[in-house]
């Protein structure tokens, strides 16, 4: 398949069907977001240039973001990120699985006095997920961290009660 890169002078770049199918499995949310005007996709491509001028992709990774490049793992996280941006809230979007922290929240509000995190419970109702959700809620309670949880199947993102910004 042919890959078209915006703002590139390389011309046509090709990717094998097998590589694309593997990437589609690994980065499904990101690749399904291509051509969606409310989302951006960041792709990292390892490209091999041949003496003939031919170029092909030998490996890749992809990440879905909102329009202002905040990484999101799901359309629900994207909705929350968009709300926080629209309301001009100061927040952090921690990257997942970095360090040895016992939890990795979806968002942390930086404009409130007490430490406050937001969890998007996008897969509530699945046993393993619900178990992990319970562990996270227990952790936040024990650490005295305010946890705002949102279950997208239960209410729209605008219905989530956020604390007022204090600074």
pLDDT tens digits, 15-34: 999 999 999 999 999 998 88
| Alpha-carbon gap, residue 159 to 149, rounded angstroms | 11
Question: In this structure, are 42 and 109 located in the same domain?
Answer: no
Tell me the mean pLDDT in the region 60-78.
93
Q: Are both 106 and 136 inside the same structural domain? A: yes
Give me the pLDDT at residue 98, please.
66
**7 pLDDT higher than 80:** no
Q: Are residues 31 and 97 in the same domain?
A: no
99 within some domain:
yes
Q: Which domain holds residue 147?
A: 75-159
Q: What's the whole-number mean pLDDT along residues 90-105?
A: 83
> ∠ CA 53-55-59 to the nearest 5 degrees?
160
Give dist(CA 33, CA 19) in Å, integer: 18
pLDDT tens profile 110-146: 999 999 999 999 888 888 999 999 999 999 999 999 9
Q: Are 108 and 92 in contact (CB under 8 A)?
A: yes
Flag whether 166 is in a domain: no
Closest CA to 93 of 105, 82, 75, 79: 105
37 pLDDT higher than 90: no
Domain boundary among 22, 44, 66: 66
Residues 81 and 95: their CA atoms lie apart, in Å, by 14
Domain count, the chain: 2
């Amino acid at each position: 398949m042919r890959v078209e890169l915006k703002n590139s002078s390389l011309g046509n770049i090709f990717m094998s069907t097998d590589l694309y199918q593997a990437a589609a499995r690994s980065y499904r949310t990101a690749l399904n977001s291509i051509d969606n005007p409310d989302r951006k996709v960041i792709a990292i491509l390892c490209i091999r240039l041949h003496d003939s001028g031919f170029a092909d992709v030998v490996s890749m990774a992809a990440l879905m973001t909102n329009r202002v490049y905040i990484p999101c793992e799901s359309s629900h996280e994207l909705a929350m990120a968009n709300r926080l941006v629209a309301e001009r809230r100061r927040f952090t979007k921690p990257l997942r699985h970095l360090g040895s922290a016992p939890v990795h929240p979806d968002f942390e509000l930086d404009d409130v006095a007490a430490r406050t995190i937001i969890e998007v419970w996008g897969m509530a109702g699945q046993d393993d997920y619900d178990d992990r959700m319970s562990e996270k809620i227990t952790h936040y309670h024990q650490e005295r961290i305010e946890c705002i949880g949102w279950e997208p199947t239960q209410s729209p993102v605008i219905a989530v009660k956020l604390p007022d910004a204090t600074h």
